Structure 1
Amino acid sequence: MWIHQRQGWPNVSWNQENLSIKLASVRHQQGRLLGRMGALGFQVSMEAALQTLTADVVTTSDIEGERLNPHDVRSSIARRLGIQTAGMIETTNENVEGIVDVMLDATQNYQMPLTEERLYGWHAALFPTGRSGMRPIMVGAWRPPSAGPMQVVSGPIGREIIHFEVPEATRLKNEMTRFVTWFEEKESIDQVIKAGIAHLIFVTIHPFEDGNGRIARAIADMALARSDQTTSRFYSMSSQIAAERKAYYFYLEQQQRSGLDVTAWLDWFLDCLGRAIQNANVLLDAVFSKAAYWSHANKNSLNKRQKLIISRMLEDFKGFMRTSKYATMAKCSPDTALRDIYDLISCGLLVQNPDGGRNTSYRLATLEELSKTESFSNL
């Protein structure tokens, strides 16, 4: 018997006393993180939020097996938030635009009520062509009976793991009416707890033919934004779920086979959220370093190509820069790329690695090296 077949569903319960210490710890971590961000300048805070939202969008899609280009995602979010960033490109990928629309609506407009129509809009944004891959699906509406029995699975095609079976389509109208009503009730449930319960109940109901995981995480992010009382996102629950994917499916499946007491699920959810906030501090350290690097870089007259390359190298660039890579990324000739590189070296922004000849490569200067260069130039 699945959880949604239990008498009393969806009125789940949990042991508040068992969760109180972890909930207090998460709330404390949230407060410290928001306090830390509040002490920073606007530009650094916006860059941190941009990094977090980009990670959120990329990883929530990756969990469902859809790989998005992080640069496309970053550019799409930056454009919507009015952030000018080096290397920003015009995104034309409908899949990117759709999931960005959903995540930003959930977090930037968290105070607006969650309604069935809003959920329909999110679903339509995820599937602008009316297809999931090559398969036509019902878009912007609950899954129809014609879709047949549905199961929640994970793993590659041919080696799927079945975690649970979802309610019949005939139950969806009543199930979702109760869900959105409960989500907007002004009861005394802490919004962090509500985020965990909402995620579980929505995934269990599985109201759409596809995209339920992404929308469930958007709903959880909406509740977390309400708990933080800010549109700025500085930690990514989706990234942490992606990192703990096996545990996520384990606790999800375990809860589906259990009764209406969801304490075990919430216990894991709080732990996962706590780790997401802890890992946000690592991301913020990277943002601080990036801001410091740009502070040095902006003292020089850099062209658009150079700004683009520096931006890419400061993000998720792997390995070292070479002339051929520079030319390809900046869409210029090798000679132009080499001149740009020599200019960046003369500014102290790039450093040539020891290997020469065909193996000549370059790396970003460290903040310590940049400080020394600036001190020397002031003599």
Structure 2
Amino acid sequence: MKLKNWNWQQDDWPDFSFDNERLWPLENEYTKESGISLGVMRHLSQKNQSELRIEIICNEALKTSEIEGEYLDRDSLQSSICKEFGVGENYLHGTIKPEEAGIAMMMKDLYTNFNSPLTNETLCAWHDMLFNGRTDLERGQYRTSNDEMRVVSGRIDKPKIHFIAPPAFKIQKEMDQFISWFNRTAPGGKEQLSPLIRAGIAHLYFVTIHPFEDGNGRISRALTEKALSQNLGKPTLVALSSTISDKKKDYYTILELQNKNNQITPWLFYFGKTVIEAQKQTIKLVDFVIAKAKFFDAYGALLNPRQKKAVLRIFKEGPKGFSGGFSAKNYISIVKTTSATATRDLKDLVNKEIFSKTGKLKSTRYELDLKPFYPTISIDSAEKKQTNLTKK
């Protein structure tokens, strides 16, 4: 008799069980944070809303790929996303690479068609877009190879097996079952589920089936976004992949712990906490976009073209700032100038109190002083901020 090592081999598959009572406080917090996010975003200008949308979608596309060990070109990706959404001609430059163009197409479809029912065709189209230009795998179709689909690590000659997915001959039946579940648990469906539970199950359920030769993690996170958007009634702008990427090891650990049985409370608890943290990161990004707009209102006319180019590059790094700090060497590389000109430009920025300076000699680092442009209330106090904005 064959051993039943994996969750999909158990007698209760795919009837997932979980402790509703333990998860309900997370559902309540998620609903509250969703209201705060929507309230804060309503007070952004149309220009800032567009900028925020591009920023989040770009970051999510970058990070969902980085989780799988693939690193995209930010400028090419941002240009691709702007092209897909028909905004920000100033972003467009250079050659757009096939991989960045492909994931931009997938993100556009996810964003604009979030409310449509899920189909096999949708998932295969996403896969085809995701691997745009690739000829080394089966694009836009489920697995057909009779070889075991294994998730492994370690030496090639002595790999550690973390998971073995269902064989290819079972994929179509499993996917038909998954798609039926996804659609009937949607808002208004016959078996409607609360948002975090449905999105969390969708992620785990799909990645367990592992229907594609590659890209299953990225598509499972896209399904999470689709599920949350359907509940919200509009495209969700939440920094989920960015939040997962910050603690990638925890993500893979909890997935591995969950692949032996179908009692999934630990996974759903982790997932719910992660989504809520992602919501809070998004609120911080809103504050950052507001601070950026106010910064340029105050200082835009004081920057020469080189300084403006460098400042815009720093802003691209988001609220976390420039990795390792911003140096004169970074300035020279970004604006393509001489050491003497860089020294003069940076000294001017410090004198105007646009940059603050720390360290000496090669350890000198520069930082944008954005504190005057953030909301007077702490960016971590989102609930208070919403009340303040409502009163205005």
TM-score in terms of structure 1 length = 0.83
Distance 1:98 1:19, change over 3 A: same
How big is the shift at 1:310?
A: 1.7
Partners of 1:283 and 1:158 in 2: CA distance: 45
- Which residue matches 1:31? 35
User: Aligned-pair distance for 1:40?
Assistant: 2.6
Closer, same or farther in 2 for the Cα pair 1:349/1:17, shift >3 Å? closer
Aligned to 1:237: 240
Map 1:133-144 to 2 at 5 A. Answer: 136-144=136-144
Give the superposition deviation at 1:30.
1.4
**Aligned 8 A contact 2:80 2:96 in 1:** no
Cα separation, 1, equivalents of 2:22 and 2:330: 54
Q: Deviations over 1:147-183 (max 9, x none)?
A: x001123579789653211001000111111112221
Change (3 A) 1:329 1:155: farther
Closer, same or farther: CA 172–353 of 1 in aligned 2, 3 Å: closer
Letter in 1 for 2:309: L
For 2:272 and 2:84, the matched residues in 1 are separated by 31
Question: Is 1:255 the counterpart of 2:258 in the alignment?
Answer: yes
Aligned partner of 1:207 among 200, 205, 211:
211
% identical aligned pairs:
33
TM-score (norm 2): 0.80
CA 1:41 to 1:160, structure 2 compared with 1: closer, same or farther past 3 Å? farther
1:307 corresponding residue in structure 2: 308
Gaps of 5+ in 2: 374-392
Inter-CA distance 249–360: structure 2 relative to 1 (3 Å threshold): closer
How far the C-alpha of 1:113 sits from its partner, in A, is 2.2
Deviations 1:174-202 (A, max 9, x none): 11111122212213212332111111111
1:326 Cα offset (Å) = 3.8
SS in 2 for 1:19: helix
- What does the per-residue CA deviation read over 1:65-114, in whole Å, with 9 as the maximum and x for residues that have no partner? 10123333333323333332766534522122222222232133201222
Shift of 1:278: 2.2
2:376 aligns with none
Code of the aligned partner of 2:216: N
Match of 2:273? 271
Distance 1:244 1:226, change over 3 A: same
TM superposition shift of 1:125: 1.5
Structure 1 letter corresponding to 2:183 = E
Q: Which residue of 2 aligns with 1:145?
A: 145
Aligned partner of 1:217 among 199, 215, 221: 221
Q: Is structure 2 residue 127 aligned with structure 1 residue 126? A: no
Unaligned runs of 5+ in 1: 370-379
> Using a 3 Å threshold, how does the CA distance of structure 1 residues 344 and 6 change in structure 2: closer, same or farther?
same
SS at match of 2:151: strand
User: Quick check: 248-257 or 198-207, which moved more?
Assistant: 248-257
Q: Relative to structure 1, is the Cα distance of residues 99 and 159 closer, same or farther in structure 2, using a 3 angstrom cutoff? A: farther
- CA-atom RMSD in angstroms: 3.1
Letter in 2 for 1:252: L
Per-residue displacement from partner, 1:8-61 (whole Å, max 9, x unpaired)?
Answer: 422323332332122111111111121111123223333332222222111110
Partner SS for 1:162: strand
Are the equivalent residues in 2 in contact too, given 1:87–1:311 (CA < 8 A)?
no
Q: Give the Cα–Cα distance (whole angstroms) in 1 for the partners of residues 157 and 249 of structure 2.
A: 18
The change in CA–CA distance for 1:47 and 1:104 in structure 2 (over 3 A counts) is same
